[in-house]
Amino acid sequence: MKVADAVKQIIGLAVVGGACFVIGYAVNITYFYDRTPVQPIEFSHKIHAGDNQIPCKYCHLYVERSRVSGVPNVQRCMGCHKIIKTDSPLIQKLTAYWDNKEPIPWVKVHNLPDYVRFTHKRHIKAGLQCQECHGDVASMSRITKVSSLKMGWCLSCHEKKSVKNGKDCWTCHK
Ligand code: HEC
Ligand code: HEC
Ligand code: HEC
Ligand code: HEC
Ligand code: HEC
């Protein structure tokens, strides 16, 4: 085999390999690790929590009180959007949910398996900021998952903060 042919073959392999990598990567992003899913209404944390500085807890009411933070209902949105930006097509879409008395089917971004015990309450009471686990949400136009939520992620912070019983299996597993 001539050197030129060998080079061609190597380039060919590299191209095929590269293509597989790109396709695999795209499939991963769209189907398996969609950290930034498209939402039914383009809701921007940047506009609300960033530019307009609406506090996280104004919308995520239960973050200090219960297991889940909760996502605000349509009524919460309409408290402002009966008046604000009513000429926008996005707000008209929002208003249609309100008129039809339908909840907005927000796509969940964070989702731990059922066998894991996690409560916001204790973490917030311990003085942790939202950003430590969720990143700089106030600058996100579309919400994205920045932490893996894997066991190792939980354990490394528990170790760093010397959480009492923070590495015992039964602390996090029922
Ligand atoms: C005006 C109301 C509003 C404010 C203020 C707000 N959020 Fe949200 N948040 C929402 C809505 C609606 C969703 C669901 C739609 C979405 O994911 O974009 C959401 C989703 C989220 C999610 C993802 C939920 C999931 O499915 O896993 C996180 C995390 C979050 N918000 C954190 C924050 C933090 C941190 C702040 C403050 C910096 C904040 N939010 C301020 C309304 C709000
Ligand atoms: C405390 C008041 C307040 C609440 C509550 C609120 N918003 Fe907003 N929203 C605003 C403001 C202020 C703007 C920026 C308006 C502008 O650009 O002039 C905005 C802008 C928007 C826009 C962009 C509109 C466009 O065309 O530019 C969307 C979409 C939106 N909000 C959806 C929501 C949804 C969905 C909720 C409920 C989860 C919600 N908002 C809750 C105040 C609020
Ligand atoms: C110690 C890390 C940590 C901190 C701090 C934290 N979160 Fe979370 N958050 C998580 C995890 C883990 C989940 C996934 C929970 C699940 O799937 O059961 C989550 C889920 C959410 C969700 C999705 C709805 C839900 O509750 O399942 C929202 C909204 C949210 N967080 C908002 C906030 C806000 C607002 C703050 C700050 C006041 C905050 N979080 C602070 C780790 C954290
Ligand atoms: C950024 C740091 C941090 C991360 C990440 C974190 N934790 Fe924690 N966790 C803490 C701290 C600090 C405490 C101690 C709270 C206290 O002293 O009351 C704690 C306490 C706990 C407790 C015991 C208190 C309770 O709520 O019953 C559980 C369970 C727990 N964490 C689960 C988890 C799980 C599951 C994850 C991962 C999905 C996780 N944590 C991720 C910092 C963290
Ligand atoms: C601080 C919280 C925490 C502690 C402590 C903890 N885990 Fe986990 N564990 C998780 C989370 C979160 C997941 C789910 C995410 C994942 O698969 O990494 C998980 C998943 C698992 C899984 C399923 C893994 C898989 O690939 O399906 C097993 C098995 C497990 N843990 C065993 C243990 C054992 C055994 C211990 C004690 C030595 C332990 N865990 C302690 C948080 C914890």
Indicate if the pLDDT at residue 48 is higher than 90: yes
**CA–CA dist 89, 70 (Å, integer):** 26
Mean confidence (pLDDT) of the chain: 85
Confidence of residue 24 (pLDDT cuts 50, 70, 90): very low
By CB atoms closer than 10 A (0-12, 13-18, 19+), residue 77 is buried
Tokens of 150: 């894997």
Confidence of residue 34 (pLDDT cuts 50, 70, 90): confident
**Atom of ligand 5 lying closest to residue 154 CA:** 1
Per-residue pLDDT of 76-120, as tens digits, reads 999 999 999 999 999 999 999 999 999 999 999 999 999 999 989
Q: What is the pLDDT of residue 61?
A: 84
Q: How many CA atoms lie within 13 A of 19 on its CB side?
A: 5
Rounded CA Rg of the chain = 22
Residue 120 CA, ligand 2 centroid: distance in Å: 26
Give me the amino acid identity at 4.
A
Confidence of residue 44 (pLDDT cuts 50, 70, 90): very high
Indicate if the pLDDT at residue 149 is higher than 50: yes
- Nearest ligand, CA 145: 1
Q: What is the pLDDT of residue 18?
A: 53
**Atom of ligand 1 lying closest to residue 77 CA:** 1
